[in-house]
Structure 1
Amino acid sequence: MKTYINGIGCISTQKTFDTVFLEEAIHDNNENVLKIVSPAYKDFISPAASRRMAKGVKNGIVASALAMKDANIENVDAIITGTGLGCIEDSEKFLKNILDNNEEFLTPTSFIQSTHNTVGAQIALLQQCKGYNFTYVNGAVSFESALIDAKMQIEGDEANSILVGGVDENGDYTTALFKLNGRIKKDTYESYAVLNSETSGAIYGEGASFFVLENERKENTYAKLLDVTIINTLEENEIETEIKSFLKANKLEISDIDALVLGFDGNVDFEIYYKNLAENAFAQTPVLYYKHLSGEYDTASAFALWMASKIIKTQEIPEIIKVNSVEKPAYNTILLYNQLNGKNHSFTLISK
């Protein structure tokens, strides 16, 4: 069985809904933490329920609803979610309540809603989906872990349609901690440019991207999901060899790739992984980037897959995501490569 991407939905730090492909995207060099562009939640969730939900849950529900609508389906056989930090806002609220109330008289609501699988559970409740429901919490490859699971189930004929997504949200306290330990760029820097950055730490973001994967090609199919692989640790000089063997396993060579999507996030300490590829092996290939729009977070690669799926369907690449000026007559095969702080490397391959 082959795996097709038949519907996509994305809520991010850009306006990625009710608009043409990244037409209204804004590249802001003055922010080190990007905020979500909120949709009209009341169109998807009742206001009473919405008030009790963390933004990650709401964004996940809306993104999944957009993907289902895009795929023209009412229900799916399974829901698989990837998240790095889960519902971190509710976790923060609960911990703050423990301290404020001297560990007494606590309401359990925030604790119940702070678990990582809240997003998948809420989507299932709204859709009345009683099938397989799983959440992967695996750092920067959480989304890829979910993708691999879904792909295996479709190829093994265990499911016909699966909703797969990556969701993460920012919490104020966690963001402050990330600034302290250097994961996010310091507030004192003058510019937060992602390409050619000279400072450590990343531009941070949040978002939810969902995909409907099915075993048959339809009129509204975006792309075919060829392969996904994850590797925990790699040295800078091993990346090219790994990519070549990954492509070879799919009977492809570097010259067959029509666009390469890289996870440049502005952290000068680890950009060498991407720069080596862009300047050497893939110098004749259109190279794209996306974290200047989405920010860095554990499941940011889901935003990249949303972007790559759009490119294959529209056959257009917006100027705002280009790293180099190389162009191809058609964009039929796209490779995505992501890593976070030198760990959790992932390769995803999609084709027309």
Structure 2
Amino acid sequence: MTAVYINSASCISVQDTLKENFFQDLKADPSVQILKAVDPNYKEFIPPAMIRRMSKTVKMSSVASSYALKEAGIEKPDAIIVGTGMGCSQDSEKFLKNVIDNNEEFLTPTFFIQSTHNTVSGQIALGLQCHAYNFTYVNTSSSLEFSFLDAQLQINDGEAENVLVGAADEQTARTMELYRLNNTIKKEEDLPADYLHSKTDGVIWGEGAAFFVLGKNKTENSYAKLRDIQIINRLVIEETPSFIKDFLAKNDLKHEDIDAVILGFSGDITSDVYYTRAMNAFQNSALLYYKHLSGEFNTASGFSTFMACHILKEQHIPEVMMIRSAQKTDIKNILLYNHLAGNDHSLMLLERA
């Protein structure tokens, strides 16, 4: 497939990533089990009457997508594609609670209608009065990557020139309780978390929304060129080096051509071994990590993609992200590697626009 350009990038996350010069204020908090996203003033973007009916995923996505479209100078995209792992789980929990409390009788359909995973893309389209191609991917930790692939296909096939692509996930009280019970979330006694040299299972959970406008043509504001994406559901640890090597070879690159590698270290001793194995193959690249800044969640790769875009555009790597610094006067190629609990591995190759 022909490469496409990322012409805008917007993110609502645990960090205050909507403000300018946010690189200077990035801070990690390894001592809590759950990290909450920094909420913007939603009233500036959404009518108060609508805010009450929206889940956090929809609110975050509405604002992040608005920022992305404005930056790209696009009023109506030719397609809207959204990835999510859990969808609007707040409304899902409300609906299920109503089912139990009312003995499956006299149920109002509102929470059910608003709980479907494609509510996000639908609400964005309604707000824009956009009747174009509208699709939602629910593929756990590779939801954003599948959305990017679809956007790339739409552009390459001549179906669209500018595509709004995003990914979002929220936290809900009951789900977080269950994650604590099955040790998905780190135990209190295992905090503060050591993301790079963890001796314990579990992660610190986060949330957020990241949106991008992918275009056929490069613009003055382009952040990066999206060259390629590779996704695999299951991967044997020993095959990690060849998984990466084959991906680079497909793009006529070698390990030494990669200026920075962004790895999804989450602080989970069981699944982080994939990243450790991947690190060993890159001796001359800057090695970075990011989930200490965003928390782990299904679409956390949206945060890393957003950070990679800014690194390429500003030619600067925040010190707080560095595992190993390499003296790079020119940052051209960035490789992103992510998975969730050892499943759904993805590689994304970004090049400076």
Scaled by the length of structure 1, the TM-score of the pair is 0.98
- The Cα of 1:96 is off from its aligned counterpart by 1.1
In structure 2, C-alpha distance between the alignment counterparts of 1:283 and 1:223, rounded to whole Å = 24
Matched pairs, number? 351
In structure 1, C-alpha distance between the alignment counterparts of 2:100 and 2:27, rounded to whole Å = 39
Which position in structure 1 is the counterpart of 2:328? 328
Which position in structure 1 is the counterpart of 2:154? 153
**What is the one-letter code of the residue matched to 1:286?**
A
In structure 1, C-alpha distance between the alignment counterparts of 2:116 and 2:60, rounded to whole Å = 16
Report if the CA contact (8 A) 1:2-1:154 is conserved: no
Scaled by the length of structure 2, the TM-score of the pair is 0.97
Which position in structure 2 is the counterpart of 1:84? 85
Aligned runs of 1:135-284 on 2, under 5 Å? 135-278=136-279, 280-284=280-284
In structure 1, C-alpha distance between the alignment counterparts of 2:35 and 2:346, rounded to whole Å = 24
Q: Deviations over 1:140-186 (max 9, x none)?
A: 11111111111111112111000000110011101111111121112
Indicate the SS of the match to 2:24: coil
Indicate the SS of the match to 1:67: helix
In structure 2, C-alpha distance between the alignment counterparts of 1:268 and 1:287, rounded to whole Å = 19
In structure 2, C-alpha distance between the alignment counterparts of 1:22 and 1:89, rounded to whole Å = 31
Q: Deviations over 1:115-143 (max 9, x none)?
A: 00000000000011100000001111111
Report if the CA contact (8 A) 1:5-1:213 is conserved: yes
Which position in structure 2 is the counterpart of 1:296? 296
Report if the CA contact (8 A) 2:3-2:228 is conserved: no
In structure 2, C-alpha distance between the alignment counterparts of 1:67 and 1:177, rounded to whole Å = 34
Q: Does 1:69 align with 2:61?
A: no
Indicate the SS of the match to 1:56: helix
Report if the CA contact (8 A) 2:7-2:212 is conserved: yes
Which position in structure 2 is the counterpart of 1:345? 345
Which position in structure 2 is the counterpart of 1:129? 130
- The Cα of 1:67 is off from its aligned counterpart by 0.6
Indicate the SS of the match to 1:244: helix
Q: Percent identity?
A: 51
Report if the CA contact (8 A) 1:226-1:351 is conserved: yes
**What is the one-letter code of the residue matched to 1:136?**
Y
Tell which deviates more after alignment, 304-313 or 106-115. 106-115
Which position in structure 2 is the counterpart of 1:96? 97
**What is the one-letter code of the residue matched to 2:329?**
P
Q: Does 1:114 align with 2:138?
A: no
Q: Does 1:319 align with 2:319?
A: yes
Q: Structure 1: where are the runs of 5+ without partners?
A: none
Report if the CA contact (8 A) 1:2-1:216 is conserved: no
- The Cα of 1:86 is off from its aligned counterpart by 0.2
- The Cα of 1:39 is off from its aligned counterpart by 0.5
In structure 2, C-alpha distance between the alignment counterparts of 1:185 and 1:19, rounded to whole Å = 32
- The Cα of 1:197 is off from its aligned counterpart by 1.4
Q: Does 1:10 align with 2:11?
A: yes
Q: Deviations over 1:172-218 (max 9, x none)?
A: 10111111112111233231232211110111111000000000001
Report if the CA contact (8 A) 1:4-1:222 is conserved: yes
Q: Does 1:42 align with 2:43?
A: yes
In structure 2, C-alpha distance between the alignment counterparts of 1:201 and 1:166, rounded to whole Å = 23
Indicate the SS of the match to 1:224: strand
In structure 2, C-alpha distance between the alignment counterparts of 1:330 and 1:21, rounded to whole Å = 22
**What is the one-letter code of the residue matched to 2:204?**
I
**What is the one-letter code of the residue matched to 2:338?**
N
In structure 1, C-alpha distance between the alignment counterparts of 2:230 and 2:3, rounded to whole Å = 16
In structure 1, C-alpha distance between the alignment counterparts of 2:188 and 2:150, rounded to whole Å = 39
In structure 2, C-alpha distance between the alignment counterparts of 1:47 and 1:282, rounded to whole Å = 50
Report if the CA contact (8 A) 2:286-2:322 is conserved: yes
Report if the CA contact (8 A) 2:195-2:266 is conserved: yes
Indicate the SS of the match to 1:99: helix
Report if the CA contact (8 A) 1:21-1:310 is conserved: no
Q: Which runs of 4+ in 1 moved over 4 A?
A: none
- The Cα of 1:70 is off from its aligned counterpart by 1.2
In structure 1, C-alpha distance between the alignment counterparts of 2:3 and 2:298, rounded to whole Å = 27
- The Cα of 1:284 is off from its aligned counterpart by 2.1
In structure 1, C-alpha distance between the alignment counterparts of 2:327 and 2:169, rounded to whole Å = 33
**What is the one-letter code of the residue matched to 1:287?**
L
Indicate the SS of the match to 1:93: helix
Q: Structure 2: where are the runs of 5+ without partners?
A: none
